Amino acid sequence: MNRPADGPLPIPADDIDAWAARFDLLGDPTRLSLLAYMHLHPGCTVGELAAAAGTTPTTTSQALRVLRRQGWVGVERDGRLMRYTLLDDLAHRVLHLMGHRHAVG
């Protein structure tokens, strides 16, 4: 049943843009795979993430760069290794809503 709009959108336009950007990040299978793996295994290296996602280290690094730029992923140096961790609470909650649980610990 179609009915005319009664007024402004129930979500502010700025929020719609922000949500669209978030869903765009989650819409990429490589990025979603990396986020899901980091959710279960915080502190992974690029090599570990690439193996888990079935991608090359270059593709993984490019996806991580996008996620870091958006503040979803953090990185810490561990000697010569760089270890990546999921930082974004909303992404964390979305992974839970998808049924993706992590180990307690």
Q: Would you state the pLDDT for residue 82?
A: 97
> pTM value?
0.78
pLDDT in tens, the chain (105 residues): 565 566 666 777 777 888 788 888 788 999 999 999 999 999 999 999 999 999 999 999 999 999 999 999 999 999 999 999 999 888 888 888 887 666 555
18-97 CATH choice from 1.10.10.10, 3.10.20.30, 2.40.50.140, 1.10.3720.10: 1.10.10.10
Instruction: Check if the beta carbon of residue 87 is closer than 8 Å to that of residue 36.
Output: no
One DSSP character per residue, 19-87 reads: HHHHHHHHTSHHHHHHHHHHHHSSSB-HHHHHHHHT--HHHHHHHHHHHHHTTSEEEEEETTEEEEEE-
Q: Would you state the pLDDT for residue 69?
A: 93
Q: Would you state the pLDDT for residue 93?
A: 85
Q: Would you state the pLDDT for residue 102?
A: 62
